[in-house]
Structures are given as C-alpha cells and as structure tokens.
Amino acid sequence: MNPVDAFKKQVISNIERLGEDKDVQSLSRVWSRETNRNGYTYNFTWMGRPIIQYPQDIVAMQELIWMTQPDLIVETGIAHGGSLIFSASMLELNAACGGKKDARVLGVDIDIREHNRAAIEAHPLARRIDMIQGSSIAPEIVAQVKVAAKGQESILVILDSNHTHDHVLAELEAYAPLVTPGSYCIVFDTLIEDMPSELFPDRPWGPGDNPKTAVWEYLKSHPEFEIDQNIPHKLLITVAPDGYLKRVR
C-alpha cells in the first residue's frame, strides 16, 4: 500500500474508533452543554463578520465545499453574515484553484437588518453573494430560490434559520430536492435535541421540537438522503449531529 492510501486508511480507522467510543461521545455532549451556557458559538468571526458556528463545523464545511465544488450554495438564515462571507470565501478559493469561476452563495432571511446588509454588501466578497428577504418557507421565496438554482450543476444547501421542527421540515421539503447527487444538505443546530431545555428558555424550540426531529421525520420518506455519520464522528464537537445529509441518489 502506498503512503497516501495508508494515511487515508488510518484516518478512516480513527474516525470509526471515535464514533464507537461512547465515553468520548458523551464528553463531547457535556462540553457542548457547558460551553453553550456562556454563548460559545457567538465568539468567532470570519473575515470580519460574526459567524456564530463552532470552529469544528467551519472546518467540515470547508472540506465539503472543496469536495463538492458547488456552483451555488443556498443558505437559510443570515444573521450577521459571517456564514455567507465564509461560503463566498471558499468559492473564491475554489475558483483560484481552477474551480467554478462564477459560483455564488444565496442567503435567505426573514429579517435582514440594515446594518448587517450594509456590512455584507461592503465586504470585498459581496460580488459572490445574493440575498433575499422573506420567510424561507414562503412559496414566493422558495420560487425565487428555485429560479436561482435552475441549471446549476452542483448545489449545496445549508439550513440555519428558525429551528422549530415544523419550520425545518418545511425547509427540507422545499430546498433539499435542490441538492445535487453527491452533494449535501446541512441542517445546523440539531444539537438542540441533545441539550437540556433550560438552555432555550426564550425560544420556541427545544428537545422534541427542533432541527434533529425534523431531519428524522424527513428521512422516513426520502431515501435519496443519508446521514453522513463520519463527519460528526470525526468532529466530536458539532452543532449538527445527524445534520450532515448526503444525497446518495
């Protein structure tokens, strides 16, 4: 076996062992619970904009964007715009390395606050970003996204807006079909199911009503998607356990 294949085999073995290690998995959930009491995910920026993600998930997204080489990344939930800037920067790197030259990211949010819109539009990577204001599950908004997706060879979808079961399930029904075979629909904040309800005192979601329960419901009737467990197993710390959905056909 050549050294490259030997290394890849070792990585696969590492990930399998981590996934089987119940103590490590439990420690990761405890770590997430305790750090989120202090707003851990709010503490990071990407190229000047708050991104509100775990660094581990940011690394995973880089790997997926490089692997899938999307023409279009659709994101629901914009907030401060850090994730849009991140996606745009990855598309820029892909293009610099010979990938799709005109790839874009499309963000959807029910309320794009003016100071956030201004900061995003002033960013050097704004040329790769489009934004739509409105509910991500409103028929007219879904129709606009479908127009943008028409004819694209590779599409990746990221769902990170309202985290209730019903809303995420409606987003999955609307946007997961846009994902091209071999690419991903990433559903963030599935971790809510594994956290105590006390962490969400002022939110309409919590254990039993959240993105993970929506994923489980969606997959019952959509065998074209499978949970890629290798990603959370290797990350250990992720806001998206069961949330990395690969389109396999």
Model confidence band, residue 148 (pLDDT cutoffs 50, 70, 90): very high
DSSP H or E segment with residue 132: strand 129-133
pLDDT at 240: 98
Give the residue extent of every domain in the chain.
3-247
Q: What fold characterizes domain 3-247? A: Rossmann fold (3.40.50)
State pTM to two decimals: 0.97
Beta-bridge partner residues of 104? 72
Q: What is the pLDDT of residues 32-81, one digit of tens each?
A: 999 999 999 999 999 999 999 999 999 999 999 999 999 999 999 999 99
* Residue 158: Cβ within 10 Å count: 25
User: What distance in Å separates the CA atoms of residue 207 and residue 160, rounded to the nearest whole number?
Assistant: 17
